[in-house]
Amino acid sequence: MLNKIIGFLSGLKMTIVSGVCIAASLVFALTGISVAVDPAWAAVIISGLPIAYAAMEGLFVDRRIYTALLITIAMIASIFIGELFAAGEIAFIMAIGGILEAKTVERAQKGLKNLLSLTPAVGRRISGGREEMIPAEQIKPGDILRVLPGEAMPVDGEIVAGDTSVDQSIMTGESLPVDKGAGDSVYCGTINRFGSVDIRATKVGEDSSLQKLIRMVRDAENNKAPTQRIVDKWAGWLVPIALCIAVIVFFTMHDIVRAVTVLVVFCPCALALATPTSIVAAIGQATKHGIIIKSGDALERMGKADTIAFDKTGTLTHGSLVVSDVIPFNTIIIKDELLSLAAAVESRSEHPLGKAIVAGAEAAKLGIKPSIDFKMIPGKGVSAVLDGRMVLCGNEAWLRENGVGFDAYAEIAMNELRQQGKAAVIVSADGEALGAVALSDTLRTTAKDMIEELKTAKTDTVLLTGDHRQTAEYIAGMLGIKDIHAGLLPEQKVEKIQELRRQGRNICMIGDGVNDAPALKTANVGVAMGGMGSDIAIEAADIALMGDDISKIPYLKRLSNATIKLIRINISLAMCINFTAIVLSVLGVLTPVTGALWHNAASILVVLNAARLYDRKFI
3-state secondary structure 344-403: HHHCCCCCHHHHHHHHHHHHCCCCCCCCEEEEEECCCEEEEEECCEEEEEECHHHHHHCC
Task: Please state, in angstroms and as integers, the Cα–Cα distance from residue 393 to each residue in 1, 12, 196, 382, 383, following that order.
Answer: 69, 64, 21, 5, 6
Question: Residue 93, Cβ neighbours under 10 Å: how many?
Answer: 25
- For the cut 60, the answer to whether the pLDDT of residue 224 exceeds it is no
Q: Where is average pLDDT lowest: 134-148, 295-309, 527-541?
A: 527-541
Stretch (H or E) spanning 600? helix 592-611
Q: How sure is the predictor about 163, in pLDDT bands with cuts at 50, 70 and 90?
A: confident
Q: How sure is the predictor about 94, in pLDDT bands with cuts at 50, 70 and 90?
A: confident
Pair type for strands 372-377 and 164-167: unpaired
Side-by-side strand order, sheet with 432-443: 317-328, 432-443, 423-429, 389-394, 381-386, 372-377
Question: Residue 570, Cβ neighbours under 10 Å: how many?
Answer: 22
- For the cut 50, the answer to whether the pLDDT of residue 227 exceeds it is no
Beta bridge partners of 436: 327, 426
pLDDT mean over 445-455: 90
Is position 156 annotated as part of the catalytic site?
no
Task: Output the pLDDT for position 106.
Answer: 46
- Contact, 65 vs 247, CB < 8 A? no
Task: Please state, in angstroms and as integers, the Cα–Cα distance from residue 71 to each residue in 232, 266, 425, following that order.
Answer: 12, 9, 72
Per cent of the chain over pLDDT 90 is 14
H helix runs in 110-234, sequence order: 110-117, 169-172, 209-223, 230-233
Q: Per-residue pLDDT tens for 509-526?
A: 998 766 788 888 889 998
Task: Output the pLDDT for position 496.
Answer: 93
Task: Output the pLDDT for position 219.
Answer: 54
Residue 436 vs residue 29, higher pLDDT:
436
pLDDT mean over 223-228: 42
Q: Where is average pLDDT lowest: 119-128, 136-145, 146-155?
A: 119-128
SS3 416: helix
Name 309's Cβ contacts closer than 8 Å, sequence gap at least 6.
461, 462, 463, 464, 496, 497, 500, 507, 508, 509, 510, 519, 523
The listed range with the strongest mean pLDDT (60-69, 96-105, 211-220, 425-434) is: 425-434
Q: Delimit the domains of the chain by residue range.
A: 2-107+224-281+560-615, 121-154+156-207, 291-317+443-559, 319-442
CA distance 467 to 488: 7
Distance of alpha carbon 534 from the chain centroid: 10
Task: Output the pLDDT for position 279.
Answer: 78
CA distance 23 to 564: 33
Domain 121-154+156-207 is found in CATH 2.60.200.20: no
pLDDT mean over 150-168: 86
- Contact, 351 vs 305, CB < 8 A? no
Backbone angles phi, psi at 59, to 5 degrees: -70, -45
Beta bridge partners of 509: 309, 526
* Mean pLDDT (the chain, rounded): 81
**What CATH number was assigned to the domain covering residues 291-317+443-559?**
3.40.50.1000
H helix runs in 106-227, sequence order: 110-117, 169-172, 209-223
Q: Where is average pLDDT lowest: 31-45, 99-113, 209-223, 395-409?
A: 99-113
Domain 319-442 is found in CATH 3.40.1110.10: yes
Task: Output the pLDDT for position 4.
Answer: 81
- For the cut 60, the answer to whether the pLDDT of residue 377 exceeds it is yes
Half-sphere exposure of 187 (CA within 13 A, CB side): 20
SS3 83: coil
H helix runs in 457-489, sequence order: 469-479
Backbone angles phi, psi at 36, to 5 degrees: -65, -40
Q: Where is average pLDDT lowest: 113-122, 125-134, 275-284?
A: 113-122
Q: Per-residue pLDDT tens for 44-75?
A: 889 888 888 887 887 788 777 777 777 788 78
Task: Output the pLDDT for position 502.
Answer: 93
Task: Output the pLDDT for position 518.
Answer: 85
Task: Output the pLDDT for position 501.
Answer: 93
Task: Output the pLDDT for position 105.
Answer: 45
Q: Per-residue pLDDT tens for 305-314?
A: 999 999 888 8
CA distance 338 to 582: 84
38, 156, 311, 441: the catalytic one is: 311
- For the cut 80, the answer to whether the pLDDT of residue 218 exceeds it is no
- For the cut 70, the answer to whether the pLDDT of residue 230 exceeds it is no
Task: Output the pLDDT for position 221.
Answer: 47
Q: Where is average pLDDT lowest: 203-207, 246-250, 381-385, 461-465?
A: 203-207
Task: Output the pLDDT for position 115.
Answer: 54
Would you say the CATH fold of 319-442 matches that of 291-317+443-559? no
- Contact, 337 vs 369, CB < 8 A? no
- For the cut 80, the answer to whether the pLDDT of residue 274 exceeds it is no
Q: How sure is the predictor about 111, in pLDDT bands with cuts at 50, 70 and 90?
A: very low
**Cα-trace Rg, the chain:** 32
- Contact, 424 vs 436, CB < 8 A? yes
Question: Residue 277, Cβ neighbours under 10 Å: how many?
Answer: 27
Q: Which amino acid is at 346?
A: E
CA distance 321 to 580: 64
Beta bridge partners of 167: 191
Pair type for strands 460-464 and 307-310: parallel
